[in-house]
């Protein structure tokens, strides 16, 4: 009996044919690992190529060549680049990002605290932005080419046109300075209550929501409009199904795959693009931590923040691919 046939005489199916969904998920996972490794190389090489030297910056203008050489030797900067990269990568795999050159503290401990703050801010913004964007997108389709649709489109275009730092400064000017109804800077500390913390991050959350809301809403509208032009949607309307019910019950579920991709990309932006917002509002998150580290050339911190941002972005994109595969039968059972 040939190895290519099963006991009953039928051709043996490959793993892809027997477990198409699991195979696709496993392929996405392996691709994400390879991509993360490539990003780690780029981050390390990019940080190495940055102008300036930590030893010179740390010691100041009065530093002598001998003291600079001692600092570089103490930090291991006199070793080959490839050796330092694999030492750093080995520590990262074990959850150890090294020691901060500036503060001499564990980078992993500092990142743990800062990452929690950034995820709390991004998560709270996502809880508001995602359902609001989807609802506005469906409303825009429901009132297509009418006044509510035009108003939503004009406001979304205005929001997309404004950079996040400008939106942040406007919110600070009106709500913190002129009216005094919001907190600035957005300082959080251990032991702060949940409601107090929500009040503290109100302005940065509003900034992030305005930044990502318009893009998600417009892409949701475009995805649903694409489905609405299908023949089965026209049949549903001819049978007397109301426009709103047709959108909610039939169009939105069938437009789920592109909507998931757009939402995932914007969630990734909420975490990765939070750097500017954290700097504007002096929020103690990963973005502020990274900017402070770049200022003093604290390379272990810069590398750790860059790799974590990349890992979050890759992870969310992988989850978006997997959810899109699960939501689309044609992707689950490719020919």
Which pLDDT score, from 0 to 100, does residue 141 have? 86
Residues 6+ positions from 41 with CB-CB distance below 8 Å: 85
Between 323 and 151, name the one with better pLDDT.
Answer: 151
pLDDT tens digit string along 150-186? 898 888 888 888 888 888 888 888 888 887 777 666 6
Tell me the C-alpha distance between 219 and 265, whole Å.
11
Which pLDDT score, from 0 to 100, does residue 328 have? 64
Tell me the C-alpha distance between 47 and 311, whole Å.
17
Between 333 and 36, name the one with better pLDDT.
Answer: 36
Which pLDDT score, from 0 to 100, does residue 38 have? 93
How confident is the model over 219-223, as a mean pLDDT?
A: 86
CATH assignment, 107-332: 1.10.3720.10
Mean per-residue pLDDT over the chain, rounded: 80
Between 17 and 70, name the one with better pLDDT.
Answer: 70
Between 1 and 227, name the one with better pLDDT.
Answer: 227
Residues 6+ positions from 210 with CB-CB distance below 8 Å: 159, 162, 167
> Among 50-64, 206-220, 232-246, which is the least confidently predicted range?
50-64
pLDDT grade for 42, boundaries at 50, 70 and 90: very high
- Give the three-state DSSP class for 55: helix
pLDDT tens digit string along 284-314? 888 888 888 887 788 888 889 989 988 988 8
Tell me the C-alpha distance between 321 and 261, whole Å.
7
DSSP-assigned letter for residue 176: I
pLDDT grade for 1, boundaries at 50, 70 and 90: very low
The H-or-E segment that residue 243 falls in is helix 243-246
Other Cβ atoms within 10 Å of 55 Cβ, number? 20
pLDDT tens digit string along 256-269? 778 888 888 888 88
Instruction: Tell me: pLDDT of 13 over 90.
Output: no
Contact between 271 and 312 under an 8 Å Cβ cutoff? The reply is yes
Contact between 204 and 281 under an 8 Å Cβ cutoff? The reply is yes
pLDDT tens digit string along 47-65? 887 776 667 666 666 667 7
What residue ranges do the domains of the chain occupy? 22-93, 107-332
pTM tops 0.75, yes or no: yes
């Amino acid at each position: 009996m040939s190895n290519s046939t099963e006991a009953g005489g039928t051709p043996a199916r490959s793993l892809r044919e027997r477990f198409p969904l699991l195979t696709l998920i496993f392929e996405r996972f392996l691709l994400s690992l390879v991509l993360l490794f490539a990003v780690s190389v780029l981050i390390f090489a990019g940080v190495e190529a940055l102008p300036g030297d930590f030893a010179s910056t740390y010691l100041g203008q009065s530093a002598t060549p001998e003291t600079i050489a001692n600092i570089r030797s103490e930090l291991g900067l006199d070793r080959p680049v490839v050796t330092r990269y694999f030492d750093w990568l080995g520590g990262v795999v074990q959850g150890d990002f090294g020691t901060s050159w500036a503060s001499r503290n564990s980078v992993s401990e500092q990142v743990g605290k800062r990452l929690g703050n950034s995820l709390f801010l991004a998560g709270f913004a996502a809880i508001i932005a995602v359902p609001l964007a989807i609802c506005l997108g469906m409303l825009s389709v429901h009132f297509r080419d009418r006044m509510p649709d035009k108003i939503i489109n004009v406001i979304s275009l205005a929001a997309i046109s404004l950079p996040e730092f400008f939106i942040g400064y406007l919110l600070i000017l009106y709500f913190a300075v002129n009216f005094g109804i919001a907190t600035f800077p957005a300082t959080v500390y251990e032991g702060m209550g949940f409601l107090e913390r929500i009040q503290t991050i109100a302005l940065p959350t509003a900034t992030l929501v305005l930044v990502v809301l318009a893009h998600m809403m417009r892409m949701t509208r475009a995805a649903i409009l694409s489905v609405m032009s299908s023949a089965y949607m026209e049949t549903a309307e001819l049978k007397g199904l109301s426009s709103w019910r047709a959108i909610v019950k039939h169009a939105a579920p069938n437009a789920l795959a592109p909507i998931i991709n757009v939402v995932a990309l914007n969630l990734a932006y909420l975490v990765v693009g939070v750097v500017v917002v954290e700097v504007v509002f002096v929020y103690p998150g990963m973005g502020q931590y990274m900017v402070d580290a770049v200022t003093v050339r604290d390379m272990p911190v810069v590398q750790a923040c860059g790799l974590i941002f990349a890992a979050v972005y890759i992870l969310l994109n992988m989850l978006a691919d997997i959810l899109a595969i699960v939501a689309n039968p044609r992707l689950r059972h490719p020919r």
